[in-house]
């Protein structure tokens, strides 16, 4: 089961009844909300650090986005299904990567 299908199932949306375009919109919305929640978790974790460094909201958001990307890449690499080079350059044999 794809991650989007699983998340849709959790929130009660029957993704198989939606058009391809609506599924893409739902996937984008779920991804956006997931990223925002992860940033809030990281923000709470680094709260003392931000206070010590006296970052403004813009600087905090920049740091959070960097940390989020770094953590996602580390998680992808931890699965051992991808290498650093395959994450950095997703084209395989000149083909575009598959978007599910």
Q: Report pLDDT digits (tens) over 7-39.
A: 778 888 887 888 888 888 888 888 888 888 888
With 80 as the cut, is the pLDDT of residue 94 above it? no
Q: Quick check: is 35 in a domain?
A: yes
Q: Report pLDDT digits (tens) over 42-77.
A: 888 888 888 888 888 888 888 888 877 888 888 888
Domain with 58, as residue range(s), is 3-11+19-88
Q: Global pTM?
A: 0.56
Backbone φ, ψ for residue 93 (5° rounding) = 55, 35
Q: Quick check: is 99 in a domain?
A: no
Q: Quick check: is 45 in a domain?
A: yes
Q: Give pLDDT, residue 29.
A: 87
Q: Quick check: is 59 in a domain?
A: yes
Q: Quick check: is 31 in a domain?
A: yes
Domains: count for the chain? 1
Q: Are 5 and 15 in contact (CB under 8 A)?
A: yes
The three-class DSSP label of residue 49 is helix
């Amino acid at each position: 089961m794809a991650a989007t299908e699983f998340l849709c199932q959790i929130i009660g949306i029957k993704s198989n009844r939606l058009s391809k375009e609506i599924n893409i919109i739902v996937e984008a919305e779920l991804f956006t909300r997931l990223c925002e929640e992860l940033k809030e978790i990281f923000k709470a974790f680094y709260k003392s650090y931000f206070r010590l460094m006296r970052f403004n909201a813009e600087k905090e958001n920049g740091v959070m986005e960097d940390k989020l990307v770094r953590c996602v890449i580390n998680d992808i690499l931890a699965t051992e299904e991808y290498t650093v080079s395959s994450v950095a350059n997703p084209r395989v044999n000149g083909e575009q990567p598959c978007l599910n």
